[in-house]
Amino acid sequence: MIKNNRFSWRCYDLNSELPINWQSELLNISKKAAAKTLVPTSITSRESKLVTRIPVLTVNGVELRKEAPWLYTLYHGLFRDLAQLESTETVVAASQDIYGAVLNVQRGTDMRYECHIDSNPIEGLLYVTDHPKGTGGELVIANLPDAKSIDEVEKNNSVIYPVAGNLVFFDGRDRAHYVRSLVGDNNSERVIVAMNYYTESCPESSRPADLSAHLFGKPSC
Ligand SMILES: [Fe+2]
């Protein structure tokens, strides 16, 4: 029997709404992604104690706004309007650009994204690259609360396969999730825009103080 608090998400195909060269522009910007090694000790981390380092590539939101102002406009406009449909409260974009809308990149077959929970009530993911079943790079989300590691997420989960131009919204505050490694060769690349939205009952001010330093190596200001 399916429990009524099982994980679910909403997905929009925005290919007809996005600027004509949106994908190639974001793929170009992804070449500028900064390398960082996550040490999964944030309050939001859900990694096994055996995992001590996770290499990631990110273009932070300040850089992304400079490189793709049209995306910043969508984050505050159409995407926010769609995110609004996820809540009865007013949904707002982040006031701090550094983590509002960022570009996350996986290259080759060794990288994956940290297993974690979200601190914001609505997460938006715009997929830039396609990763069909069997090619890795899928988002794996625990169906039920309390999973505290990849092994626990893998016991009972939902999987979102990235489709370019799809915008996904979900609440990941109590559902640990991570991104699997890519399958293939070292030229494989996964690119997404990850966006944070907030509400009055879960405002931006509740974002953990250490999270920006954890993800970007910089405190928010
Ligand atoms: Fe997340």
User: Per residue in 81-90, pLDDT tens?
Assistant: 999 999 999 9
Average pLDDT, integer, range 23-47: 93
Average pLDDT, integer, range 86-114: 96
Residue 1 has a pLDDT of 62
- For the chain, the domain total comes to 1
Q: Is residue 164 part of a domain?
A: yes
Which amino acid is present at 115? C
Q: Is residue 2 part of a domain?
A: no
Residue 219 has a pLDDT of 54
Q: Domain of 123: which CATH number?
A: 2.60.120.620
Distances in whole angstroms, Cα of residue 127 to Cα of each of 15, 89, 166, 192: 11, 26, 6, 5
Cα distance between residue 197 and residue 76, in whole Å: 10
Residue 56 has pLDDT above 50, yes or no: yes
Separation of CA 145 and ligand 1 centre (Å): 14
Q: Which of residues 210 and 60 earns the better pLDDT score?
A: 60
Q: Is residue 220 part of a domain?
A: no
Q: Is residue 208 part of a domain?
A: no
Q: Is residue 173 part of a domain?
A: yes
Separation of CA 118 and ligand 1 centre (Å): 5
Domain extent, residue 182, equals 10-199
Cβ partners under 8 Å of residue 93, min gap 6: 75, 76, 80, 100, 101, 195, 196, 197, 198
Separation of CA 172 and ligand 1 centre (Å): 6
Of 62, 96, 92, give the one whose Cα is nearest residue 76. Answer: 92
Separation of CA 56 and ligand 1 centre (Å): 14
Separation of CA 114 and ligand 1 centre (Å): 9
Q: Which of residues 118 and 4 earns the better pLDDT score?
A: 118
Q: Is residue 4 part of a domain?
A: no
Distances in whole angstroms, Cα of residue 195 to Cα of each of 6, 68, 78, 162, 202: 23, 14, 13, 15, 15
* pTM across the whole model: 0.94
What percent of the chain is modeled with pLDDT above 90?
80
Residue 162 has a pLDDT of 98
Separation of CA 120 and ligand 1 centre (Å): 9
Separation of CA 192 and ligand 1 centre (Å): 12
Whether 33 contacts 59, CB under 8 Å: yes
Separation of CA 83 and ligand 1 centre (Å): 15
User: Per residue in 135-185, pLDDT tens?
Assistant: 999 999 999 998 999 999 999 999 999 999 999 999 999 999 999 999 988
Mean pLDDT for the chain overall: 93
Separation of CA 111 and ligand 1 centre (Å): 16
Cα distance between residue 155 and residue 111, in whole Å: 22
Residue 218 has a pLDDT of 63
Residue 221 has pLDDT above 50, yes or no: no
pLDDT band at 2 (very low <50, low <70, confident <90, very high): low
Separation of CA 57 and ligand 1 centre (Å): 15
Residue 12 has pLDDT above 50, yes or no: yes
Q: Is residue 210 part of a domain?
A: no
